[in-house]
Amino acid sequence: MTAVSQLGYLGLGVKDLGEWAAYAEQTLGIERVATDADGTMLLRLDEHHHRFALHQDAHDDITYSGWQVDTAADLKTIGTRLEAGGVDVAWGTREESERRRVINLIRFKDPDGHDVEVFYGPQMASAPFVSKKGGTSFVAGSQGLGHFVIAANNLETTMDFYTSMLGMKVSDYVTRGRLKLGFLHCNPRHHSIAFVEFPGAPKRANHFMLQLEDFDTVGRTWDSVQSGAAPVIMTLGRHSNDEMVSFYMRNPSGFGVEYGWGAREVDDSCWQVAQYDTTSTWGHKSPDRTAIAAP
Ligand SMILES: [Fe+2]
The alpha carbon of 92 and the centre of ligand 1 are apart by a number of angstroms equal to 30
The alpha carbon of 260 and the centre of ligand 1 are apart by a number of angstroms equal to 9
The alpha carbon of 194 and the centre of ligand 1 are apart by a number of angstroms equal to 8
The alpha carbon of 149 and the centre of ligand 1 are apart by a number of angstroms equal to 7
The alpha carbon of 61 and the centre of ligand 1 are apart by a number of angstroms equal to 16
> pLDDT below 70 — which residues of the chain?
288-294
Surrounding ion ligand 1 within 5 Å at CB are 209, 258, 295
The alpha carbon of 177 and the centre of ligand 1 are apart by a number of angstroms equal to 19
The alpha carbon of 157 and the centre of ligand 1 are apart by a number of angstroms equal to 21
Q: What are the backbone angles phi and psi of residue 139, rounded to the nearest 5°?
A: -80, 105
The alpha carbon of 101 and the centre of ligand 1 are apart by a number of angstroms equal to 27
The alpha carbon of 37 and the centre of ligand 1 are apart by a number of angstroms equal to 33
The alpha carbon of 259 and the centre of ligand 1 are apart by a number of angstroms equal to 8
C-alpha dist (Å) from residue 48 to 3, 11, 22, 286: 20, 15, 21, 34
The alpha carbon of 233 and the centre of ligand 1 are apart by a number of angstroms equal to 12
Question: Residues with Cβ < 8 Å from 26, sequence gap 6 or more?
Answer: 132, 133, 229
Question: Residues with Cβ < 8 Å from 15, sequence gap 6 or more?
Answer: 56, 57, 58, 60, 252, 253
Q: Collapse the DSSP code of 22 into the 3-class scheme (helix H, G, I; strand E, B; otherwise coil) and give the result.
A: helix
Give the pLDDT confidence score for residue 293 in this predicted structure. Answer: 57
The alpha carbon of 91 and the centre of ligand 1 are apart by a number of angstroms equal to 31
Give the pLDDT confidence score for residue 41 in this predicted structure. Answer: 98
pLDDT, one tens digit per residue, over 76-134 is 999 999 999 999 999 999 999 999 999 999 999 999 999 999 999 999 999 999 999 98
Q: What are the backbone angles phi and psi of residue 292, rounded to the nearest 5°?
A: -115, 125
Give the pLDDT confidence score for residue 291 in this predicted structure. Answer: 53
